[in-house]
Amino acid sequence: MHARIRVVGAHTAIVTPFTDDGSAIDAARLDSQVARQCDGGVTSVVPCGTTGEAPTLEEHEHAGVVERAVAVAHGRGVQVIAGAGSNSTAHAVRMHRTVAGLGADAALHVAPYYNKPSQEGIYRHFMTVADSCDLPIVLYSIPGRCGVAILPETVERLSAHPNIVAIKEATGSLDSASEIRRRCALPILSGDDSLTIGFAAVGAVGVVSVISNIAPARVSAMCSALAANDLASARQIHESLYPLARGLLSIDTNPVPVKCALELMGLDSGAVRLPLVRASEQARAQVRALLAHSRGSLDAPASPARAAAAVA
Closest CA to 142 of 261, 277, 11, 50: 50
Distance separating alpha carbons of residues 99 and 105, to the nearest angstrom: 9
The one-letter code for the residue type at 202 is V
Q: Does the annotation mark 259 as catalytic? A: no
Pick the catalytic residue from 113, 116, 123, 168: 168
Q: Does the annotation mark 140 as catalytic? A: yes
3-state secondary structure 221-234: HHHHHHHCCCHHHH
Pick the catalytic residue from 114, 116, 140, 242: 140
Is the sign of the CA dihedral 257, 258, 264, 269 positive or negative? Answer: negative
| Active site (catalytic) residues | 140, 168
